[in-house]
Chains A and B, each alone.
Chain A
């Protein structure tokens, strides 16, 4: 089996002992089965157990291992090692407080997600069977419901960096539109009211970093555009 050595430069910060963060140079020997960045990180951790990062499913559905990889946000488990330039520079997701090494405090991100009431609202008594929805109506949810809340998008968005407390951010707005687009949801006007504010929705300036980084190939900018359209339409 062919093996090769890969160089890394990794953001390190342990508040228990470090006054300030620093970049650490590390290297690891990889063999042909270590295809993904997460494989390399697991090997690095086997050598130095203080290296800290989140990970779980290792197949791109849980959203745990989002980080900044050679300057671009992505999931370690979906990033091919062979496509990365050396040294591989790893930093925590930008714009959120760092807890330790590659682990960020995601409180603000989830607060924004929760602020859009991310649940179906339908106050009619539920029928005995399923609420009906045509395949075409259901197709409207494609590209919306698949979000894994990894935060790659929101933490690549300059508007979110500036106003993480006021701007809902691409992930939260994608979720807001997921419910607006659902024929079973009855709270569209309440949801639009909730976003009618100079910051919550309208801080999106269609920079489209979110689309560029989404590991699930979703398009929050398009969803945000649709919400903006609905706002305009109901205003006239």
Chain B
């Protein structure tokens, strides 16, 4: 089979926050860079982030990166790597200030500095009381950030390939990554991008669940491609269910609402978080709040005719505050809940939101895999950042506002590392293997010629319902085991999907089928990893690992203080130790999480 080839120094896949931040590094360094994106860059899902980006600027009150680091380690339920967490928290101020210099329209304080609001799990003085750390542009921080970074890329002349979907990684005999294949949506042409290095910033895969805050495009393309290329996926059992998705619609309502004073109430009007987190209350960590909400609903204290949601109340806030700080939330509430939050509380339920796991990397953004005794050997020429990657800074549970920080810090870090790698290897591109591109062409060929196959829409729905019912906020031993076998059945259908649309021009049916092939890898990784981890930690809470005196909250550090690595080949699992040693400070010692 033959395939057209285009040559670049660097190829970045994805033009959300992480991809755009990495592209700035690459373009400013003068490298010939191609940025591939399924959508026009400002349509990437970073655009939907609302509440803010964390940085210990201390604009409103005293703050310190070390406190931020402590909160992040605690939030991660000690599964986060402490070197990467220190790196992120120390770089936060620099990255946020850079963004301001790019033109990001942050809200301001009277003294002209960036406005900061409180957010869940962010505390001062090592967990003492909530601190204002989230740098915000009203409740449209992601939109403001994504546009500012796209604009910066326009300024530095980054070359975008808009509406191109990457299909597969190309590796040579030594395992080095030497390019990617991609399909141009408008023409249907498949092209091989030959590169000295490839950086993945493909975002999350929240569409594996039925109810998700994620965009349609969040289909785990990076992890799917990595898994097919023999690279394991790390900690995929950890998914964040955001406490406040609009009931029924799934659309996100930022935690910034609670940061501004919003209160969660059950059907009796009770502020129930006081019982679950006496100190942080509504601003406890997301996993804690989501479980409290589901417990209220399960115990019959939910609201509405079916008692299946709780209420997020901001009717006590001055309307001016809502109009100034939360205008987007008001729009969303009117649009998707049919209520004006100035007058009525918002019906909310925990909704799948964020993938803590992903393609394993170190804090430099290099993709790392186990090799012999070494658990973290870099894959030559391969980098990843943002939600598709696992650095791992979020561990078992991410704090709000740390995702925008993650994509800034690690987008920049991975971009910088990649630039250095390319500059240190000025020689010609590594040769392409003879069969480069054949695998992708064969996949598309199979899809085009499939007869009597499975329907894409129905198969995707089966996957989403299975994940929702078998791998949700609370997990059950029996349901997980059944879920594994159901997902493997769905995977068999995914391998024989059929589309009716055979045309070349903007064939979205074909794209959805190819996306489903990525989603299913993420779903398999998630449920297989979750089934195996027989403890409760962060967002992964099982009925057979309850809170006991010996194992508070069901966490089992003796056996499970380790990262999962799922290999697609044979659904095999292996584990690697958590990095407990930070870069410069003392280890934040294990203890029970309480808010």
A100 to chain B: closest residue by CB: B506
The reply to whether B499 and A33 form a contact with Cβ atoms under 8 Å apart is no
Partner of B109, one of A50, A126, A135: A135
A184 to chain B: closest residue by CB: B103
Partner of A145, one of B105, B251, B331, B508: B105
Partner of B155, one of A33, A62, A119, A182: A119
In Å, the complex CA distance between A19 and B109 comes to 59
In Å, the complex CA distance between A132 and B59 comes to 12
Q: Is A60 an interface residue (CB 8 A)?
A: yes
In Å, the complex CA distance between A122 and B217 comes to 35
Q: Is B485 an interface residue (CB 8 A)?
A: no
Given A56-B43, A118-B151, the answer on whether A100 and B505 have CB atoms closer than 8 Å is yes
In Å, the complex CA distance between A119 and B215 comes to 26
Given A56-B43, A56-B215, A57-B48, the answer on whether A132 and B506 have CB atoms closer than 8 Å is no
- Smallest CB–CB gap between B326 and chain A, Å? 14
Q: Is A23 an interface residue (CB 8 A)?
A: no
In Å, the complex CA distance between A15 and B101 comes to 45
Most chain B beta-carbon neighbours within 10 Å: one of A54, A117, A141:
A54
In Å, the complex CA distance between A149 and B154 comes to 15
The reply to whether A58 and B100 form a contact with Cβ atoms under 8 Å apart is no
- Smallest CB–CB gap between A16 and chain B, Å? 4
Inter-chain residue pair count (beta carbon < 8 A):
148
Interface window among B140-148, B358-366, B393-401, B530-538 = B140-148
Most chain A beta-carbon neighbours within 10 Å: one of B112, B137, B152:
B112
Contacts of B111 in A (CB 8 A): 132
Contacts of A45 in B (CB 8 A): 457, 508-509
Size of the chain B interface, CB-CB below 8 angstroms: 60
B246 to chain A: closest residue by CB: A59
The reply to whether A146 and B143 form a contact with Cβ atoms under 8 Å apart is yes
In Å, the complex CA distance between A121 and B43 comes to 24
Mark A residues whose CB is within 8 Å of B: 14-17, 33, 35, 45-46, 48-50, 52-64, 78, 99-100, 103, 105-106, 110, 114, 117-120, 122, 126, 128-135, 137-138, 141, 145-146, 148-149, 179, 182, 184-185
Known: A56-B217, A132-B112, A185-B103. 18 other contacts (CB 8 A): A16-B504, A49-B457, A55-B216, A56-B43, A58-B216, A59-B48, A59-B252, A61-B47, A61-B48, A61-B140, A61-B143, A62-B43, A103-B506, A110-B40, A114-B154, A119-B103, A119-B152, A138-B108
Q: Could you show 12 A-B contacts with beta carbons less than 8 Å apart? A: A33-B248, A49-B500, A55-B216, A61-B328, A62-B42, A62-B215, A103-B506, A117-B155, A118-B154, A130-B106, A148-B143, A184-B103
